[in-house]
Protein backbone atom coordinates (compact mmCIF):
# COMPACT_ATOMS: atom_id res chain seq x y z
CA UNK A 1 0.00 0.00 0.00
CA UNK A 2 1.35 3.52 -0.76
CA UNK A 3 2.27 5.80 2.12
CA UNK A 4 -0.76 7.76 3.46
CA UNK A 5 0.70 11.03 2.13
CA UNK A 6 1.10 9.43 -1.31
CA UNK A 7 -2.55 8.40 -1.14
CA UNK A 8 -3.55 11.96 -0.26
CA UNK A 9 -1.43 13.35 -3.07
CA UNK A 10 -2.86 10.90 -5.59
CA UNK A 11 -6.43 11.54 -4.45
CA UNK A 12 -6.08 15.31 -4.78
CA UNK A 13 -4.68 14.92 -8.29
CA UNK A 14 -7.71 12.84 -9.23
CA UNK A 15 -10.05 15.43 -7.73
CA UNK A 16 -8.52 18.19 -9.86
CA UNK A 17 -8.63 15.89 -12.91
CA UNK A 18 -12.34 15.39 -12.21
CA UNK A 19 -12.97 19.14 -12.09
CA UNK A 20 -11.16 19.51 -15.44
CA UNK A 21 -13.22 16.77 -17.11
CA UNK A 22 -16.51 17.88 -15.56
CA UNK A 23 -16.00 21.46 -16.75
CA UNK A 24 -15.50 20.17 -20.30
CA UNK A 25 -18.63 18.01 -20.12
CA UNK A 26 -20.76 20.89 -18.81
CA UNK A 27 -19.32 23.31 -21.39
CA UNK A 28 -20.01 20.78 -24.16
CA UNK A 29 -23.65 20.43 -23.12
CA UNK A 30 -23.93 24.23 -22.80
CA UNK A 31 -22.53 24.72 -26.32
CA UNK A 32 -24.80 22.09 -27.89
CA UNK A 33 -27.95 23.30 -26.17
CA UNK A 34 -27.15 26.85 -27.32
CA UNK A 35 -26.96 25.59 -30.92
CA UNK A 36 -30.65 24.67 -31.09
CA UNK A 37 -30.61 24.12 -34.84
CA UNK A 38 -28.29 21.13 -34.71
CA UNK A 39 -29.68 17.90 -36.20
CA UNK A 40 -29.52 14.55 -34.39
CA UNK A 41 -26.08 13.01 -34.59
CA UNK A 42 -24.37 16.39 -34.99
CA UNK A 43 -22.57 18.42 -32.36
CA UNK A 44 -20.33 21.39 -31.80
CA UNK A 45 -16.65 21.18 -30.99
CA UNK A 46 -17.70 21.32 -27.33
CA UNK A 47 -16.54 24.93 -26.81
CA UNK A 48 -18.56 28.03 -25.96
CA UNK A 49 -17.66 31.55 -27.13
CA UNK A 50 -17.33 35.06 -25.72
CA UNK A 51 -17.78 35.70 -22.00
CA UNK A 52 -19.14 32.16 -21.43
CA UNK A 53 -16.05 30.59 -22.96
CA UNK A 54 -13.86 32.90 -20.89
CA UNK A 55 -15.61 31.70 -17.70
CA UNK A 56 -15.00 28.03 -18.50
CA UNK A 57 -11.36 28.73 -19.40
CA UNK A 58 -10.94 30.62 -16.11
CA UNK A 59 -12.34 27.68 -14.12
CA UNK A 60 -9.81 25.35 -15.72
CA UNK A 61 -6.93 27.82 -15.26
CA UNK A 62 -7.67 28.26 -11.54
CA UNK A 63 -8.13 24.51 -11.14
CA UNK A 64 -4.74 23.81 -12.80
CA UNK A 65 -3.00 26.39 -10.60
CA UNK A 66 -4.53 25.04 -7.38
CA UNK A 67 -3.62 21.51 -8.42
CA UNK A 68 0.03 22.46 -8.99
CA UNK A 69 0.33 24.29 -5.67
CA UNK A 70 -1.28 21.53 -3.59
CA UNK A 71 0.60 18.76 -5.40
CA UNK A 72 3.89 20.54 -4.71
CA UNK A 73 3.03 21.00 -1.03
CA UNK A 74 2.07 17.34 -0.57
CA UNK A 75 5.16 16.27 -2.46
CA UNK A 76 7.34 18.13 0.05
CA UNK A 77 5.59 16.37 2.93
CA UNK A 78 5.81 12.92 1.34
CA UNK A 79 8.41 10.65 2.94
CA UNK A 80 9.43 7.06 2.44
CA UNK A 81 8.10 5.34 5.55
CA UNK A 82 8.58 1.59 5.34
CA UNK A 83 6.89 1.16 8.71
CA UNK A 84 3.48 2.13 7.34
CA UNK A 85 1.19 -0.85 7.89
CA UNK A 86 -0.81 -2.06 4.90
CA UNK A 87 -4.59 -2.10 5.28
CA UNK A 88 -6.54 -4.65 3.29
CA UNK A 89 -9.51 -2.36 2.65
CA UNK A 90 -7.28 0.44 1.39
CA UNK A 91 -5.41 -2.00 -0.87
CA UNK A 92 -8.74 -3.17 -2.29
CA UNK A 93 -9.95 0.38 -2.95
CA UNK A 94 -6.67 1.28 -4.67
CA UNK A 95 -6.85 -1.90 -6.77
CA UNK A 96 -10.39 -1.02 -7.86
CA UNK A 97 -9.33 2.54 -8.67
CA UNK A 98 -6.45 1.19 -10.78
CA UNK A 99 -8.79 -1.18 -12.60
CA UNK A 100 -11.15 1.65 -13.54
CA UNK A 101 -8.64 4.49 -14.10
CA UNK A 102 -5.25 2.80 -14.06
CA UNK A 103 -4.11 3.95 -17.49
CA UNK A 104 -4.80 7.58 -16.49
CA UNK A 105 -3.00 7.11 -13.15
CA UNK A 106 0.05 5.68 -14.94
CA UNK A 107 0.06 8.36 -17.66
CA UNK A 108 -0.12 11.19 -15.10
CA UNK A 109 2.45 9.51 -12.80
CA UNK A 110 -0.11 9.51 -10.00
CA UNK A 111 1.27 7.97 -6.77
CA UNK A 112 -1.82 5.75 -6.63
CA UNK A 113 -0.75 3.91 -9.81
CA UNK A 114 0.23 0.36 -8.85
CA UNK A 115 3.73 -0.63 -10.01
CA UNK A 116 4.12 -4.22 -11.20
CA UNK A 117 5.86 -6.48 -8.72
CA UNK A 118 6.27 -10.16 -7.89
CA UNK A 119 5.90 -11.40 -4.31
CA UNK A 120 7.39 -14.78 -3.40
CA UNK A 121 6.15 -16.66 -0.33
CA UNK A 122 8.14 -19.34 1.50
CA UNK A 123 11.49 -20.83 0.71
CA UNK A 124 12.47 -21.11 -2.96
CA UNK A 125 11.84 -24.57 -4.39
CA UNK A 126 12.36 -25.95 -7.84
CA UNK A 127 8.65 -25.89 -8.71
CA UNK A 128 7.10 -22.41 -8.92
CA UNK A 129 3.44 -21.47 -9.32
CA UNK A 130 2.81 -17.90 -10.47
CA UNK A 131 -0.64 -16.58 -9.48
CA UNK A 132 -2.06 -13.67 -11.53
CA UNK A 133 -5.15 -11.80 -10.27
CA UNK A 134 -7.93 -10.25 -12.34
CA UNK A 135 -9.37 -6.80 -13.02
CA UNK A 136 -9.72 -4.43 -10.03
CA UNK A 137 -8.07 -6.95 -7.72
CA UNK A 138 -4.70 -7.30 -5.98
CA UNK A 139 -2.29 -10.09 -5.09
CA UNK A 140 -3.60 -10.70 -1.56
CA UNK A 141 -7.14 -11.38 -2.78
CA UNK A 142 -6.20 -14.94 -3.62
CA UNK A 143 -7.05 -15.38 0.06
CA UNK A 144 -10.84 -15.87 0.13
CA UNK A 145 -12.98 -17.43 2.84
CA UNK A 146 -9.91 -18.79 4.55
CA UNK A 147 -8.49 -20.45 1.42
CA UNK A 148 -5.59 -19.49 -0.86
CA UNK A 149 -4.84 -21.72 -3.87
CA UNK A 150 -1.16 -20.71 -3.70
CA UNK A 151 -0.73 -21.49 0.00
CA UNK A 152 -2.53 -24.81 -0.39
CA UNK A 153 -0.33 -25.82 -3.34
CA UNK A 154 2.76 -24.93 -1.30
CA UNK A 155 1.56 -27.15 1.55
CA UNK A 156 0.38 -30.13 -0.48
CA UNK A 157 2.63 -30.12 -3.56
CA UNK A 158 5.72 -28.36 -2.23
CA UNK A 159 5.49 -25.55 -4.79
CA UNK A 160 6.68 -21.98 -4.16
CA UNK A 161 3.85 -19.52 -4.79
CA UNK A 162 4.78 -16.23 -6.44
CA UNK A 163 2.01 -13.61 -6.57
CA UNK A 164 1.81 -10.90 -9.22
CA UNK A 165 0.50 -7.44 -8.29
CA UNK A 166 -0.18 -5.12 -11.24
CA UNK A 167 -2.18 -2.15 -12.47
CA UNK A 168 -5.13 -3.85 -14.19
CA UNK A 169 -6.24 -0.59 -15.86
CA UNK A 170 -3.29 -0.56 -18.26
CA UNK A 171 -3.54 -2.30 -21.61
CA UNK A 172 -3.23 -6.08 -21.32
CA UNK A 173 -0.35 -6.01 -23.82
CA UNK A 174 1.56 -3.45 -21.72
CA UNK A 175 1.20 -5.63 -18.65
CA UNK A 176 2.03 -8.75 -20.66
CA UNK A 177 5.28 -7.31 -22.01
CA UNK A 178 6.39 -6.10 -18.57
CA UNK A 179 5.45 -9.42 -16.94
CA UNK A 180 7.47 -11.36 -19.52
CA UNK A 181 10.56 -9.35 -18.60
CA UNK A 182 9.94 -9.76 -14.87
CA UNK A 183 9.53 -13.54 -15.12
CA UNK A 184 12.78 -13.76 -17.09
CA UNK A 185 14.59 -11.79 -14.37
CA UNK A 186 12.96 -13.88 -11.62
CA UNK A 187 14.09 -17.22 -13.07
CA UNK A 188 17.58 -15.91 -13.82
CA UNK A 189 18.12 -15.20 -10.12
CA UNK A 190 16.11 -18.17 -8.75
CA UNK A 191 18.38 -20.03 -6.29
CA UNK A 192 17.18 -23.53 -7.24
CA UNK A 193 18.64 -25.00 -10.45
CA UNK A 194 16.39 -25.78 -13.44
CA UNK A 195 13.21 -24.24 -12.02
CA UNK A 196 9.87 -25.40 -13.42
CA UNK A 197 7.11 -22.81 -13.80
CA UNK A 198 3.33 -23.18 -13.75
CA UNK A 199 0.85 -20.29 -14.01
CA UNK A 200 -2.55 -20.08 -12.33
CA UNK A 201 -4.50 -17.05 -13.59
CA UNK A 202 -7.92 -15.69 -12.69
CA UNK A 203 -10.09 -13.63 -15.06
CA UNK A 204 -8.10 -10.84 -16.82
CA UNK A 205 -4.97 -12.43 -15.34
CA UNK A 206 -5.30 -15.19 -17.94
CA UNK A 207 -5.13 -12.64 -20.76
CA UNK A 208 -2.05 -11.07 -19.16
CA UNK A 209 -0.48 -14.55 -18.92
CA UNK A 210 -1.16 -15.33 -22.60
CA UNK A 211 0.17 -11.89 -23.58
CA UNK A 212 3.34 -12.52 -21.55
CA UNK A 213 3.83 -15.86 -23.31
CA UNK A 214 3.54 -14.08 -26.67
CA UNK A 215 6.02 -11.34 -25.78
CA UNK A 216 8.37 -13.74 -24.02
CA UNK A 217 8.61 -15.91 -27.12
CA UNK A 218 8.94 -12.84 -29.34
CA UNK A 219 11.84 -11.54 -27.22
CA UNK A 220 13.61 -14.91 -27.16
CA UNK A 221 13.31 -15.26 -23.40
CA UNK A 222 14.31 -18.54 -21.77
CA UNK A 223 11.38 -18.76 -19.34
CA UNK A 224 8.70 -19.93 -21.86
CA UNK A 225 10.67 -23.20 -22.23
CA UNK A 226 10.36 -23.70 -18.45
CA UNK A 227 6.59 -23.14 -18.44
CA UNK A 228 4.95 -26.55 -18.10
CA UNK A 229 1.30 -25.81 -17.28
CA UNK A 230 -1.08 -22.87 -17.62
CA UNK A 231 -4.42 -22.96 -15.77
CA UNK A 232 -7.11 -20.35 -16.54
CA UNK A 233 -9.90 -19.63 -14.05
CA UNK A 234 -12.80 -17.76 -15.66
CA UNK A 235 -10.62 -16.00 -18.24
CA UNK A 236 -12.51 -13.99 -20.92
CA UNK A 237 -10.45 -15.35 -23.82
CA UNK A 238 -12.95 -13.87 -26.30
CA UNK A 239 -14.12 -10.96 -24.21
CA UNK A 240 -16.96 -10.06 -21.87
CA UNK A 241 -20.46 -9.00 -22.97
CA UNK A 242 -20.52 -6.36 -20.21
CA UNK A 243 -17.76 -4.33 -21.90
CA UNK A 244 -19.33 -4.84 -25.32
CA UNK A 245 -22.55 -3.46 -23.78
CA UNK A 246 -20.57 -0.40 -22.70
CA UNK A 247 -19.94 0.51 -26.33
CA UNK A 248 -23.70 0.59 -26.93
CA UNK A 249 -24.11 3.07 -24.07
CA UNK A 250 -21.48 5.30 -25.73
CA UNK A 251 -23.30 4.98 -29.05
CA UNK A 252 -26.71 5.86 -27.62
CA UNK A 253 -25.36 8.86 -25.71
CA UNK A 254 -23.79 10.13 -28.93
CA UNK A 255 -27.06 10.13 -30.91
CA UNK A 256 -28.17 13.53 -29.61
CA UNK A 257 -25.97 16.66 -29.47
CA UNK A 258 -27.52 17.40 -26.07
CA UNK A 259 -26.35 14.12 -24.50
CA UNK A 260 -23.16 13.49 -26.53
CA UNK A 261 -20.91 15.32 -24.00
CA UNK A 262 -22.01 12.73 -21.40
CA UNK A 263 -20.28 10.07 -23.49
CA UNK A 264 -17.08 11.49 -21.99
CA UNK A 265 -18.10 9.80 -18.73
CA UNK A 266 -18.00 6.41 -20.47
CA UNK A 267 -14.62 7.32 -21.91
CA UNK A 268 -13.17 7.46 -18.42
CA UNK A 269 -13.06 3.66 -18.18
CA UNK A 270 -9.57 2.26 -18.47
CA UNK A 271 -7.67 0.69 -21.35
CA UNK A 272 -7.68 -2.57 -19.41
CA UNK A 273 -11.48 -2.59 -19.33
CA UNK A 274 -11.86 -1.81 -23.04
CA UNK A 275 -9.39 -4.63 -23.81
CA UNK A 276 -12.01 -6.97 -22.33
CA UNK A 277 -14.42 -6.18 -25.18
CA UNK A 278 -12.91 -8.95 -27.31
CA UNK A 279 -9.92 -10.12 -25.26
CA UNK A 280 -7.02 -8.06 -26.64
CA UNK A 281 -3.53 -9.50 -26.08
CA UNK A 282 -1.18 -7.63 -28.43
CA UNK A 283 -0.39 -3.98 -29.15
CA UNK A 284 -1.76 -4.30 -32.68
CA UNK A 285 -5.12 -5.40 -31.26
CA UNK A 286 -5.74 -1.84 -30.04
CA UNK A 287 -3.19 0.51 -31.61
CA UNK A 288 -4.52 2.76 -34.35
CA UNK A 289 -8.14 2.33 -33.22
CA UNK A 290 -10.37 4.58 -31.13
CA UNK A 291 -10.87 2.59 -27.93
CA UNK A 292 -14.49 3.62 -27.60
CA UNK A 293 -15.56 3.27 -31.22
CA UNK A 294 -18.00 0.45 -31.87
CA UNK A 295 -16.16 -2.07 -34.02
CA UNK A 296 -15.84 -5.76 -34.69
CA UNK A 297 -13.19 -8.15 -33.44
CA UNK A 298 -9.86 -6.96 -34.93
CA UNK A 299 -7.53 -9.08 -32.83
CA UNK A 300 -4.54 -10.83 -34.31
CA UNK A 301 -5.07 -14.58 -33.89
CA UNK A 302 -2.93 -15.66 -30.93
CA UNK A 303 -2.99 -19.40 -30.20
CA UNK A 304 -2.23 -21.01 -26.86
CA UNK A 305 1.53 -21.24 -26.19
CA UNK A 306 3.12 -24.22 -27.92
CA UNK A 307 4.46 -27.02 -25.75
CA UNK A 308 2.49 -25.92 -22.68
CA UNK A 309 -0.29 -27.99 -21.11
CA UNK A 310 -3.21 -25.55 -20.96
CA UNK A 311 -6.40 -25.98 -18.93
CA UNK A 312 -9.58 -23.87 -18.89
CA UNK A 313 -11.94 -23.77 -15.90
CA UNK A 314 -15.29 -21.95 -16.12
CA UNK A 315 -18.12 -21.24 -13.69
CA UNK A 316 -21.71 -22.18 -14.53
CA UNK A 317 -23.22 -19.01 -13.02
CA UNK A 318 -20.57 -16.54 -14.15
CA UNK A 319 -22.33 -13.26 -15.00
CA UNK A 320 -19.04 -11.64 -16.09
CA UNK A 321 -17.49 -14.26 -18.39
CA UNK A 322 -19.65 -16.59 -20.52
CA UNK A 323 -18.71 -20.27 -20.43
CA UNK A 324 -17.87 -20.25 -24.15
CA UNK A 325 -15.39 -17.38 -23.67
CA UNK A 326 -13.83 -19.01 -20.58
CA UNK A 327 -13.36 -22.27 -22.52
CA UNK A 328 -11.89 -20.45 -25.53
CA UNK A 329 -14.72 -21.35 -27.90
CA UNK A 330 -15.53 -18.97 -30.77
CA UNK A 331 -18.01 -19.08 -33.65
CA UNK A 332 -15.03 -18.52 -35.96
CA UNK A 333 -13.07 -21.81 -35.84
CA UNK A 334 -9.84 -19.93 -36.59
CA UNK A 335 -10.21 -18.02 -33.31
CA UNK A 336 -11.16 -20.98 -31.12
CA UNK A 337 -8.45 -22.01 -28.67
CA UNK A 338 -7.25 -25.59 -28.76
CA UNK A 339 -8.11 -26.72 -25.24
CA UNK A 340 -8.38 -30.49 -25.15
CA UNK A 341 -11.82 -31.68 -24.06
CA UNK A 342 -10.25 -33.34 -21.02
CA UNK A 343 -8.60 -29.99 -20.16
CA UNK A 344 -11.91 -28.06 -20.11
CA UNK A 345 -14.07 -28.10 -17.00
CA UNK A 346 -17.16 -26.20 -15.79
CA UNK A 347 -17.83 -25.84 -12.08
CA UNK A 348 -21.54 -26.17 -11.32
CA UNK A 349 -23.43 -23.68 -9.17
CA UNK A 350 -20.47 -21.26 -9.04
CA UNK A 351 -19.96 -17.60 -9.83
CA UNK A 352 -16.87 -15.81 -11.11
CA UNK A 353 -15.27 -15.36 -7.69
CA UNK A 354 -16.14 -18.82 -6.35
CA UNK A 355 -13.34 -20.02 -8.63
CA UNK A 356 -10.92 -18.58 -6.07
CA UNK A 357 -11.93 -20.76 -3.13
CA UNK A 358 -14.33 -23.58 -3.95
CA UNK A 359 -12.98 -26.96 -2.86
CA UNK A 360 -13.82 -28.68 -6.16
CA UNK A 361 -11.94 -26.00 -8.12
CA UNK A 362 -8.87 -26.42 -5.93
CA UNK A 363 -9.10 -30.21 -6.29
CA UNK A 364 -9.07 -29.78 -10.06
CA UNK A 365 -6.10 -27.37 -9.92
CA UNK A 366 -4.19 -29.66 -7.56
CA UNK A 367 -4.75 -32.66 -9.85
CA UNK A 368 -3.49 -30.65 -12.86
CA UNK A 369 -0.35 -29.41 -11.10
CA UNK A 370 0.43 -32.66 -9.35
DSSP string for 18-83 = HHHHHHHHHHHHHHHHH-TTPPTT----S---HHHHHHHHHHHHHHHHHHHHHHHHHHHH----TT
Residue 140, domain member (yes or no): yes
User: Hey, which residues does 148 pair with through a beta bridge?
Assistant: 143
Q: At what angle are helices 204-218 and 172-188 packed, to 10 degrees?
A: 60
**CB contact burial 230-261 (16+ within 10 A = b; e otherwise):** bbbbbbbbbbbeebeebbeebeebbebbbebb
- In this prediction, residues 141-154 reach a mean pLDDT of 97
Residue 220, domain member (yes or no): yes
Same domain, 135 and 8: no
* pLDDT level of residue 249 (50, 70, 90 thresholds): very low
Query: CB–CB of 103/271 below 8 Å?
Result: yes
Same domain, 171 and 221: yes
Same domain, 81 and 127: no
pTM above 0.75, yes or no: yes
Same domain, 19 and 123: no
Residue 99, domain member (yes or no): no
Residue 226, domain member (yes or no): yes
Same domain, 67 and 142: no
Residue 149 confidence (pLDDT) above 80: yes
Same domain, 64 and 152: no
Residue 349 CA to its chain's centroid (Å): 26
Residue 250, domain member (yes or no): no
* Residue 13 burial by Cβ neighbours in a 10 Å radius (0-12, 13-18, 19+): buried
* pLDDT level of residue 267 (50, 70, 90 thresholds): low
Same domain, 62 and 129: no
* pLDDT at residue number 51: 46
Residue 129, domain member (yes or no): yes
Same domain, 323 and 177: yes
Residue 107, domain member (yes or no): no
* pLDDT at residue number 104: 87
Residue 145, domain member (yes or no): yes
The domain tally of the chain equals: 2
Residue 7 confidence (pLDDT) above 90: no
Predicted confidence (pLDDT) per residue in 13-64, tens digit: 555 465 455 555 455 554 554 555 445 444 455 555 554 454 445 445 544 5
Note down the domain range covering 47: 4-85
Amino acid sequence: MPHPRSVARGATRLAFDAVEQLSRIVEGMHANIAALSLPLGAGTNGRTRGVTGFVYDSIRTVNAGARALLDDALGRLEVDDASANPHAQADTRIAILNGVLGDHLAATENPLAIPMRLRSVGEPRRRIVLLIHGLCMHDRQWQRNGHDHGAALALELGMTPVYLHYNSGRHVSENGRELAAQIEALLERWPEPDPELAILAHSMGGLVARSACHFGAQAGHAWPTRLSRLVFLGTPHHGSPLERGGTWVDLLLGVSPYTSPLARLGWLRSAGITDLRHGNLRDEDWQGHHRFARSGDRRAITPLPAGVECHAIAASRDALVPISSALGRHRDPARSLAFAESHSWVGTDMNHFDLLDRAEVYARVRAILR
